[in-house]
Amino acid sequence: MISVTHLNNDWDGIFSLKDISLDIKKGEYFVVLGPSGSGKTLLLELIAGIHIPDSGRIDIGKKDVTTESPEHRNVGFLYQDYNLFPHYNVRKNIEYGLRVRKMSKEFIDSRIKELVDIIGIEHLMDRDVKTLSGGEQQKVGLARALAYRPDVILLDEPFSSLDENTKHALIHEMKDIHSREKATIIHVTHSQEESMLLADRIGIMMEGRIVQVGTPEEIFYKPTSVDVARFVKIENVWEARVVTRDEEAMLLRIGDKELVAPPIKVQKGSEVRVIIRPEDIILGHGQVTSARNTFLGKVVSLEKCGFYYMVRVDCGFPVVAAITRRSVDSLGLEPGKNVEVLFKATALHVIEK
């Protein structure tokens, strides 16, 4: 549906896109996830036709649109500030794109009714947009972007200015809208939560490059580099050496400790990196589990992070586990206390160094 091939663009030395290639399927919800300043919005604006790339190619459908103006791309764009027309009420804002395209009154009325039902904004239609809340503005902006059934919807940090409750409600509504409209969506954000909840696939963007593309499961549990692992909040990245390897498992050594991991295609003696999410680490005292890796460690520190704690343990190598407050209390954890650290071999992700 959308093909971006070897795209390069320098934006006044502030942002620079470097050799970006992406293929996005028809009807896919694709999230571009990355830190601020990585070039995410610039990529959207190139796809929309707001800027022309220095080199590379953009195809939408079977058409090369690299140098086409925005109005010839059939793309809807929703910026994070929604860009509603302040002198129009809600209905006129949504109708605007249809009227510009000289759609019939019958089509406009039918499409507006359809969108009102899907997005749930019937009670807002005669309101002045200046009186709308952030969540209401987001809904109206989305309705306007969807109105003329564009081939692609581009969303630039659409939930960034909303409070947490409104954001959560709209994320779930967005999933339903995407399912019903069958739209191809590219959504850029720095929010890992949005990515996990909405994306069919995610492209990780860092310093103007797409460094990994995959499903949410692949991105958050099987990062292909240390940089991606750190970005998705995995602190457990350990340097190890392959002791033995067969078709079923590998024995790895970290310092003077050995652990079992799934096999990858490396030779005995190879240097690798071992990655595991903190929520896949189990802490306990004499627990009986199916985990093949068990170590005795000493608690270094506990850090409260919302509704859970990050517990740092020294096992001869540093381990970070995410556990609930109830678990902290029941285990009596505090700095200096001994604790067992357990994790399954299958929870480990191993990459070549």
Domain boundaries, the chain: 2-230, 234-352
Q: Between residues 235 and 159, which one has the greater pLDDT?
A: 235
Domain 234-352: give its CATH architecture. Answer: Beta Barrel (2.40)
21-65 confidence digits (pLDDT tens): 999 999 999 999 999 889 999 999 999 999 999 999 999 988 999
**209 membership: H or E segment, kind and range:** strand 209-214
Model confidence at 204: pLDDT above 80: yes
How many whole angstroms separate alpha carbon 80 and alpha carbon 251? 49
Q: What percentage of the chain exceeds 70 in pLDDT?
A: 99
Sign, Cα dihedral of 304, 296, 334, 323: positive
Model confidence at 95: pLDDT above 70: yes
The 10 Å Cβ neighbour count of residue 166 is: 16
299-328 confidence digits (pLDDT tens): 999 999 988 999 999 999 999 999 999 999
Buried b (16+ CB within 10 A) or exposed e, 46-70: bbbbeeebeebebebeeeebbeeee
How many whole angstroms separate alpha carbon 15 and alpha carbon 317? 38
| Strands 201-206 and 29-33, bridge-based pairing | parallel
Q: Between residues 300 and 177, which one has the greater pLDDT?
A: 300
- What's the pLDDT at 288? 67
Query: Of 143-152, 271-280, 313-322, which range is least confident?
Result: 143-152
Mean per-residue pLDDT over the chain, rounded: 91
Model confidence at 12: pLDDT above 80: no
Q: What is the mean pLDDT of residues 214-229?
A: 96
Count CA within 13 A, CB hemisphere, residue 112. Answer: 21
Count CA within 13 A, CB hemisphere, residue 171. Answer: 20
Q: Which CATH class is domain 2-230?
A: alpha beta
Edge to edge, what strands does the sheet with 308-314 contain? 282-284, 338-343, 293-305, 308-314, 318-324
Q: What is the mean pLDDT of residues 90-116?
A: 90
Model confidence at 81: pLDDT above 80: no
- What's the pLDDT at 4? 96
